Amino acid sequence: MSAVLGKLVLDRRATVDAVTEAPAPLQPIDLTDDATVAEALDVAVRVGEVLLAAGTGAIDTSDQVQFVAATYGLARCDVDVTYNSIVLSAHRGPTMPPASTMRIVHYRSMDFTRLAAVDRLTRRIRRDAISPAQAREELLAITSAPHPYHRWVATLAWSAMAASIAVLLGGGLLVAAVAFASTLVIDRVNRYLNGLGLPFFFQHLVGGIIATAPAITLYAFREQLGISVSPGLIIAAGVTVLLSGLSLVGSVQDAITGAPITASARFFELVMMTGGIIAGVATTLRIAAVLGSDLPVINYVVTTGLTQLPSKVAAGAAASLFFALACYAERRALTAAALGGAVGTLVYQLALGLSVGPIIASATAATVVGFAGGLMARRAYTPPLVVAVAGITPLLPGLALYRGLYAILQTELLVGLTALFAAFGIGCGLAAGVTLGEWMARTARYPRSMRRAGTLRRPALRRARPRRARTASPTPETTKVTPRVARLRRDFRRS
């Protein structure tokens, strides 16, 4: 066990570690060459575009953009990152006008493989001092490459995630199978609607309808089919899957780290998408009520016994793994995502056993997930955002959201508003806990290799002390050159 943990938190350089300072470039670009400066700025803003599109916080995106620009000698830069734009202005001295560029982010992509590849490219720009032209070519190859898995793999992963969430909530085999089938339909229909250019609000509305309709149908014909089904768990599993793609972590992280404008924009988008889900579920429930098929009220009691703990932890790990797979994460990141989900579910269940409430339990579990995910991401060589977002997916408040909505539709306003505010508190607790955990991971155990390579310096040639001979003093011809001195001489000649 200790060997496995040692591999996961190995003290090696990886993409989890924050950039602390810009390196002194070995080959800085010519600041008087407008074309070269524009090419370096284009590389920097394109890197920021991929990070921002994947849900990275505005402050982290700004740091990475500044880091890439400073690597090429543009140390004095001003970066303005908003919800869908990046503005970069570089100061080139008192006698030359500043160089500026702007990039608009027109898309949102949950391709974690592309995110990890771009993150590693920024490290190569620092370590290998590659030219802006070469970096731009590699960046274009990364952004234009197809997804690593077929789209049907992502569809099946979303469906398997819904089945895992249903098991985590206490559903049986039938509930898991129905959640699997309904999520499969949701994904394929939304892909088709996305191809037609339908706004995301209406896509989530359709998703809410599809997630609710099978549950109502099975419950209405339960006596004829001879089955016993819990429709609320099926709906909650579908709602959780729809919520998992939203930028909850990024919005709260921007608010905490000092980017209120971007946080407000992301949070408003989050509210609108959640409103689409609520509208879809509410429309279906109202139609069912008109047809005389009312659903039972969910009396969900959290069970924290040790007998059900292994199954819940396994279901949480499976949900995180399938979420990472659905977002096209690299194979080596899937294990880290599954461990993050297992740890988060375990801590959440243990915290509920201490009667601290779901909000505090969710925040505590998210903090552990963010911290453990940051350590594990060093071994997996992938950004900690992948592990953190996947790890908190099983804890998203899909059931609380459905309970509050159903209570409001039944004219129980106090109960419904209480449940909705509880869902909002759980979401904020998850995002805040992940942010705190990632900060702890970056500061608690900083790899020695990153401390050694804090800045890149020119190789310096030192004269080696000659080995003393017993008979005569050594001469320059008889002095033995060590391999280290030879390597330094060779690097010095190259520079």
How does pLDDT run across 290-304, given as a tens digit for each residue?
877 777 665 555 555
Tell me the per-residue pLDDT of 377-389, one tens digit each, with 9 for 90 and over.
665 566 777 788 8
C-alpha 33 chain-centroid distance: 37
Residue 152's contacts (CB-CB under 8 Å, 6 or more residues apart) are none
3-state secondary structure of 362: helix
Confidence of residue 59 (pLDDT cuts 50, 70, 90): confident
The secondary element (H helix, E strand) that includes residue 266 is helix 260-290
Q: Which residue has the tokens 């109960």?
A: 415
Closest CA to 253 of 346, 370, 357, 381: 370
Given a cut of 80, whether residue 309 has pLDDT beyond it is: yes
d(CA 488, CA 491): 5
Q: Which two tokens stand for residue 320?
A: 């995180």
Q: Contact at 8 Å (CB) between 406 and 294?
A: no
Residue 144's contacts (CB-CB under 8 Å, 6 or more residues apart) are none
3-state secondary structure of 134: helix
Residue 237's contacts (CB-CB under 8 Å, 6 or more residues apart) are 162, 163, 165, 166, 169, 171, 175, 179, 183, 211, 398
Given a cut of 80, whether residue 257 has pLDDT beyond it is: no
Q: Which two tokens stand for residue 362?
A: 């969710």
Given a cut of 50, whether residue 455 has pLDDT beyond it is: no
Confidence of residue 19 (pLDDT cuts 50, 70, 90): very low
Strands 85-90 and 77-81 turn out to be antiparallel
For the ranges 372-386, 401-415, 441-455, the lowest mean pLDDT is seen at: 441-455
Q: Which two tokens stand for residue 70?
A: 């400073």
Closest CA to 347 of 378, 309, 397, 300: 309
pLDDT of 82 reads 85
Given a cut of 70, whether residue 473 has pLDDT beyond it is: no
CA 13, 19, 20, 25 dihedral sign is positive
Tell me the per-residue pLDDT of 127-140, one tens digit each, with 9 for 90 and over.
777 888 888 899 88
Confidence of residue 461 (pLDDT cuts 50, 70, 90): very low
Closest CA to 361 of 345, 340, 384, 342: 345
Cα–Cα distance list, 415 to 36, 237, 298, 401 (Å): 62, 21, 12, 12
Share of the chain above pLDDT 90, in %: 9
Tell me the per-residue pLDDT of 157-196, one tens digit each, with 9 for 90 and over.
999 998 998 888 888 888 889 989 999 999 899 889 988 8
Share of the chain above pLDDT 70, in %: 79
Given a cut of 50, whether residue 199 has pLDDT beyond it is: yes
Confidence of residue 317 (pLDDT cuts 50, 70, 90): very high
For the ranges 67-71, 276-280, 415-419, 485-489, the lowest mean pLDDT is seen at: 485-489
| Alpha-helical segments (H) within 129-230 | 132-144, 151-168, 173-195, 200-220, 222-225
Tell me the per-residue pLDDT of 232-252, one tens digit each, with 9 for 90 and over.
888 888 888 887 766 666 777
Q: Which two tokens stand for residue 284?
A: 């279906």
Cα–Cα distance list, 44 to 33, 74, 136 (Å): 17, 11, 9
Q: Is 22 or 183 the better-scoring residue by pLDDT?
A: 183
pLDDT of 304 reads 55
pLDDT of 23 reads 52
